[in-house]
Amino acid sequence: MLPPLARTAFRIHERLLGRRSFAILDELRESAAWPRQRRAELQLERLQAIVAAAYAHTPYWREVIDGCGIRPQGIRSLDDLRRFPLLEKGTLRARRDEMTWRAAGRRLALVRTSGSTNEALQFYTNSDREAQINAARMRGHEWIGIRRGEREMYFWGSPVELSKQDRIKRIRDWLVNDGLTNGFALTPELVARYFDYWMRWRPRCIFGYPNSLRLMTLIGRAQGIDLAALKGRGLKVISTTSEMLTQHDRQLIAGAFGVPVFDSYGLREAGLIGHECALATMHTMDEQLLLETIDPRTLEPVDGEGELVVTNLVGMVMPIIRYRTGDIVTLSDVPCPCGRTLGSLTISGGRVAEFIVTSGGTWIPAYAFIYICRSVPGVVKFQVRQDTPGEIRVLLATDANFPPDGTEQVVQKARQRLQSDDHVTVELVDDIEPAPSGKYRPVVSKVAEDRLKSP
């Protein structure tokens, strides 16, 4: 499909879903260059609106606001935000329905995070909230030279997405120039097949997980596949998300594909938080969010590096106010030579999802195990460990909803996903401690670490 036609098709798609995505995009294009004071005024206006809506329409936030002695009409500056308590993931999980305004807009939907930090969440969204996220992502892609409607290949791994490739969705994806390749399980045969498919499909942008792209690079090189040939077929840029993109991996992937690599950062429950511009500055979505950093031990506000706390200013359906992300970042107001006046952040803590290597040589990323474990009720946390080849241990921290045959379900699903002779055991534990960074590691594989040292 020609890009202008695909862009028109996506406009129609968004209108049918009640989303003002392109109107919001126009606003975001302009506000990126506003003086910071003008944008701060917009933030305050939106903070006042979200607090007023939360108080008027949600029992949870009314309880919190009354308990803190805050009056919605008393929000007079952005500093007043710090009068609110921090919102924990456990609270969001336990009191989700009490903090939801179901009549806030069209197409209310309950969605689930991937749980890349080992703590999946369900939360409510609607057309208005999704339109804001779509617009922010479209703006971020435009910063790196990709407009909506140009061919984009999603190197993705969600079984939900991969299982919905029915005829209607295939037609929809064709109309808007979206492609999808399974980034879950990679073998030399699949890497060669994906490369041939991408050469025929001719994407302008590949959007995927850094670890999957890194592995595609390592396996492709080992087979003598010239990934840079995709540049001659129209590839212009690679965009990554969901995991930490290290500078080493950025250089490795860019060198193999022959195009620049840019990163984005977001949380499904909080929104798109940052997207890199063409100068690799990760600008923050200041029109939609208020960002703070705190000391993760004392919970006191800090300047610069700390745990990121997010307030979503445009999600009326389920107000997210002072939400602890668990991610360690550094916030900055240093101007970027690109001319945009938005703030910026650097991801300092880990979001690296690692791999399990099967006895047959297939590399399985952590996201595969995320969906395996999350498909069984009652799994609160998990971690997959592989110290020696052929042996895989799955640690589960569960609650009362975990079924009697839960361990057998996990073993069976893991074997189906692995399709190997690896020995899988499941251990029930009281808790799983986070890494020193404060993040939970879904997979800890000494086998993969050793293999990656000599790809």
CA 146 from centroid of its chain's CA atoms: 19
Percent above pLDDT 70 for the chain: 92
Question: What pLDDT score was predicted for residue 370?
Answer: 75
Is pLDDT above 60 for 436? no
Question: What pLDDT score was predicted for residue 437?
Answer: 41
Is pLDDT above 50 for 353? no
Question: What pLDDT score was predicted for residue 352?
Answer: 38
Report, at the CATH architecture level, how domain 145-259 is classified: 3-Layer(aba) Sandwich (3.40)
Q: Tell me the longest C-alpha to C-alpha distance in the chain.
A: 66
**d(C-alpha 69, C-alpha 54), whole Å:** 15
Bin 107: left if φ > 0, else alpha if -120 < ψ < 50, else beta.
left
Percent above pLDDT 90 for the chain: 67
User: SS3 for 134?
Assistant: helix
Q: Are 200 and 109 in contact (CB under 8 A)?
A: no
Residues of the chain with CATH 3.30.300.30: 355-453
Residues of the chain with CATH 3.40.50.12780: 3-132+267-347
Could you please state the CATH topology (level 3) that the domain comprising 3-132+267-347 is classified under.
Rossmann fold (3.40.50)
Model confidence band, residue 118 (pLDDT cutoffs 50, 70, 90): very low
Question: What pLDDT score was predicted for residue 326?
Answer: 81
User: SS3 for 88?
Assistant: coil
CATH number 3.40.50.720 given to 355-453: no
